[in-house]
Amino acid sequence: MSNVLPKAVLFDLLTALIDSWTLWNATAGSEEAGRRWRAEYLRLTYGCGDYRPYETLVREAARATGLAEAAADALEARWCELPVWSGAQEALDALQGRTRLAVVTNCSVRLGELAAARLKIRWDCVITAEEAGAYKPDPRPYRRALDRLGVAPQDAAFVAGSGYDLFGTSVVGLRTYWHNRIGLARPDAAPGASLERPTLDDLIPWLEGRLP
């Protein structure tokens, strides 16, 4: 047991640190419609391979689930309203200066930078699917962040928001804390997380090796 942190901690942004679900639901008009829209968008991103414009996939998912394409424009217009999960800023504040902090997120460079700025933190790098050329769980975004930081996978950890991240982090070799805030089911055949919790309360003890 030790209180030594890994050299870097990488975070999913739009589910692990930010409550993007609430904004999608509000834009769609109901939780049911928002969940359906978001689920279709996730299906498109996790299956598309090389990067296709994030905004295009959001629009296609809206159309496929019976929403007007204008819903995608409304979501983008309200992007800077994305709420931060309770406990997220506090966890980052406690880590700042003790380890390197990075974002690995499935969106465009522009929207990724706007969303990352919702957290009042000095990020060491923000890697988007657009920059990496692929959406997670493809290994490329995680590896791009590690390369940028100059840190080996075994010396880093990842904080996931979606169970789909578990496919990618297992390939790359990143220990993963799944912040499963809304109780998502683990995708079929996805590896288990190193630790799964509904909050970020146990993140730092886990990073420090005080939890298995």
| pLDDT higher at 2 or 154 | 154
Question: For the chain, what is the mean pLDDT?
Answer: 95
Query: What is the C-alpha radius of gyration for the chain, rounded to an integer number of angstroms?
Result: 16
Q: Which fold has domain 8-19+82-207?
A: Rossmann fold (3.40.50)
Q: Is the pLDDT of residue 1 over 50?
A: no
What pLDDT sits at residue 49?
A: 78
CA 194 to chain centroid, in Å, comes to 16
List of residues 6+ apart from 169 with CB closer than 8 A: 137, 142, 158, 160, 175, 176
What pLDDT sits at residue 2?
A: 60
Q: Burial level of 203, CB count in 10 A (0-12/13-18/19+)? A: buried
pLDDT 10s digits, 35-76: 999 989 988 988 787 999 999 999 999 999 999 989 999 999
What pLDDT sits at residue 87?
A: 98
Averaged pLDDT, 192-201: 98
CA 51 to chain centroid, in Å, comes to 16
DSSP the chain: ---PPPSEEEE-STTTTB-HHHHHHHHHTSHHHHHHHHHHHHHHHHH--B---HHHHHHHHHHHTT--THHHHHHHHTGGGPPBPTTHHHHHHHHBTTBEEEEEESS-HHHHHHHHTTS-S--SEEEEHHHHTB-TTSHHHHHHHHHHHT--GGGEEEEESSTTHHHHHHHHT-EEEEE-TT-PPPPTTPPPPSEEESSSTTHHHHHTTS--
pLDDT 10s digits, 136-182: 999 999 999 999 999 999 999 999 999 999 999 999 999 999 999 99
Q: Is the pLDDT of residue 203 over 50?
A: yes
DSSP 42-89: HHHHHH--B---HHHHHHHHHHHTT--THHHHHHHHTGGGPPBPTTHH
How is the chain split into domains, by residue range? 8-19+82-207, 20-80
Please report where in the chains the tokens 């997120």 appear, as a residue: 105
pLDDT 10s digits, 96-149: 999 999 999 999 999 999 999 999 999 999 999 999 999 999 999 999 999 999
